[in-house]
Structure 1
Amino acid sequence: MRVTQEQRPGSRIGLTIVVEADQVKKTYEKTLRDLTQQVQVQGFRKGKAPRNLVVRQVGKQRVMATAIDDLINGVLPKALEEIKTKPLTQFELDSQLEELFANFSTEQEFTFSGWVEVYPEVEVSEYQGLTVSPTRFFPDPEHVDNTINHWREQRATLLPVEDRPAALGDVAVINYEGFDTEGNPLEGTSGEAFQLELQEDQFLPGFVAGIVGLSLDETKEIESQFPDDYMQESLAGTTVTFQVTLIDLKTKELPELDDEFVQSISNNDFSSVEELKQHLQTRFEREPRSSLKPIWRKRFLMPWWRMSRLICQSL
């Protein structure tokens, strides 16, 4: 692994991380093994299905996304050790999901970049006598259920849909190509067998809404616009007409919320649904105090990074 640092505006440190092809391949293979153990393929016992059938059922995009997530989380701790000052924030990726997909291959190095906040060098002014008004925090009673449902979503099985048009919540597999206002193809706006979960906030504005209602093998023109701050400068702010063909459609089947599911996601740390819920409830009840600290810090008139230790000591 190679790590390059750069000083960014403010107190941010930029990191560009290059992971060797051998490690990329090992991570992908492990991800595929883990998914094989989790996914139930019809006609096979869990964990015994051929890998190509597992990939077909869960979707190539999901396998790749999971592998990328595992790879980044696996190398980040060591990469962050190279920063002399302890980071104040979580690592934030620069790259869009589409760019990570395009850059991912088990036969080559994988490169990604991002940034963290660090303590800036400042002169401390007078701070004695400052006060702050605390904010009360009330835990969301649905937090436990939402967290568990998120884990179920991550382990959903994709089932084919053939008897109805695409709807929100489905997973669409599409071919698409983008054209400018004069009908000329635009570089970087085409894809084949691209898997997209039909959620309103996914991809570009209006793109998902245009796919909803399409039937298999149907083609439609969808107009959308790239954001002004889009990372590919040639497309930033550009209005594009996409020709989109729906080539496959799948729906998510969530795993049953039972004791077996809880044991599988927790590596047997919890034996029952009730035990997991109780653990989450206890954890979420402890979080409000720590969650409020950043809010209180920001209310001080002086830089909070110098006051943080004093605040923590007084809580």
Structure 2
Amino acid sequence: MQVQLETLSGLERRMSIALPLAAIDAQVNERLKRVARTAKIQGFRPGKAPAKIVEMNYGAQVREEVLGEQVQQAFYKAAAEQKLRVAGYPRFEPAQGDAESFKFAAAFEVFPEVVVGDLAGKEIEKPKTEVTDGEIDKTVDILRKQRTRFNRVEREAANGDRVIIDFKGAIDGVAFEGGSSENFPFMLGQGQMLPEFEAGIIGMKEGEIKSVEVSFPADYHGKDVAGKTAVFEIMVKNVAEAQLPEVNEEFAKQLGIADGDVAKMRAEIRKNVEREVKRRLTAQIKENVMQALIDVTPMELPKALVDLEVGRLMEQARQDLAQRGMQVKDMPLPADLFTQQAERRVALGLILSAVVEANQLEAKPEQVKALVEEFAESYEQPEDVIQWYYASQERLEGPTSMVLEDNVVEFVLAKANVVEKEVSFETLMGQNA
């Protein structure tokens, strides 16, 4: 086998390989003999057709199979001998051969050399948030609002009430799409409807009918009505006052505290809130560390790997849209939408692999077990969750990857200039972590 390697650009390589035809022909003949033993050819019993007839029927197919296998084997053997780390899949092209050799060329990319820059001078922000009694009170209020009851009242509607209405809208006397509804419920004062629409309902009683003029903003999402003025005929069919449950024994039982002890309820809520705060802080710190690694490790990325990642992200997007009930079979998804995210993922994958290998940061079994047990804490039957993870090595891949990333985060924080920053509870919980 003759091999010639050339560098086309940064990561691009081209390898030209010549394979002896004699060896290929020998393999083709050997495979045709095996095919002949079971070949079903019209006019002959299975395995009794002459070699020439077998070759006429199967020769081209067998030669194509042998060439495909030989090309793959020869390429990866040559790459290993040249100590090349091939990124993605090579592109094979036939080349001009001769009477004694079959020649082909393979265009491919190699992995870049990853050199992590100096982290000592890199500032990494480490957010921290304290969970106080005030945060627990706010969480209790949220839980109360989630269990709000609405009691019908005969008074005038006010902010905070839930109203059920019929309405019909018209612009210049003509009804418009989406401008009418029956038995439509919403809360006054929460910005669910346009301000003029809500203001017109405040003060109305059950059974009352009123016309309200509403001006749609110029940037309103409905282009057909944006910037126009409509008149809505509104009938109030029900006014209900919100009643929040008392924080008492019954409320505690609704939240899963068997004996209704309010103190136990607050302790359980604190535990859950602190767990969520920890999760979000960990996610934000990890994000900051990953960005720091990218900042100090510039590199050229193999286009093949980026393209593969773009493909995966596009498929994930299609599956997500399909789960939302959208028809995505023929929906075009521009690759450009996913390129930046794909590049970031590829870069982090290469960097993390290099950092882990260079500093022996592999996930230890006891670390994985501790994380799985932490996952299981939030379930009613933690033992079942732990058993589910350990029933399959594939299920442990997620926790193992998370531990590996945590090890990298800990390593980087020990090297970098860490700056702690207080983050309010509201800001942290408002982040999509």
TM-score by length of 2: 0.38
**What CA deviation, in whole Å up to 9, does each residue of 1:121-161 have, x standing for no partner?**
xx997554343122232335432222222232232322121
- Structure whose alpha-carbon radius of gyration is higher: 2
Aligned partner (choices 205, 209, 212) of residue 199 of structure 2: 209
1:186-265 residue pairs with structure 2 within 5 A? 186-216=176-206, 217-225=208-216, 228=219, 230=221, 234-235=224-225, 239-265=229-255
Name the structure 2 match of 1:279.
Answer: 268
TM-score by length of 1: 0.50
How far apart, CA to CA, are the structure 2 residues paired with 1:125 and 1:190? 61
CA contact (8 A) 1:207 1:224 kept: no
1:1-315 residue pairs with structure 2 within 5 A? 127-130=116-119, 131=122, 132-139=124-131, 141-162=133-154, 164-180=155-171, 182-216=172-206, 217-225=208-216, 228=219, 230=221, 234-235=224-225, 239-266=229-256, 268=257, 271-296=260-285, 297-298=287-288, 300-301=291-292, 302=294, 306=348, 312-313=406-407, 314-315=409-410
Show structure 1 runs of 4+ deviating over 6 A.
none
Post-superposition shift, 1:191?
A: 0.9
User: RMSD over aligned Cα, in angstroms?
Assistant: 3.4
CA contact (8 A) 1:161 1:249 kept: yes
**What CA deviation, in whole Å up to 9, does each residue of 1:44-102 have, x standing for no partner?**
xxxxxxxxxxxxxxxxxxxxxxxxxxxxxxxxxxxxxxxxxxxxxxxxxxxxxxxxxxx
How far apart, CA to CA, are the structure 2 residues paired with 1:146 and 1:270? 23
Query: Match of 1:214, SS?
Result: coil
Post-superposition shift, 1:240?
A: 3.7
Runs of 5+ unmatched residues, structure 2: 1-111, 295-340, 353-400, 411-433
More helix by share: 2
Taking a change above 3 Å as real, the CA distance of residues 128 and 205 of structure 1, as seen in their structure-2 partners, is: farther
Letter in 2 for 1:171: R
Runs of 5+ unmatched residues, structure 1: 1-122
How far apart, CA to CA, are the structure 1 residues paired with 2:276 and 2:165? 42
Post-superposition shift, 1:269?
A: 5.1
Percent of aligned positions that are identical:
25
CA contact (8 A) 1:222 1:244 kept: no
Query: Match of 1:133, SS?
Result: strand
Query: Match of 1:150, SS?
Result: helix
Post-superposition shift, 1:170?
A: 0.6
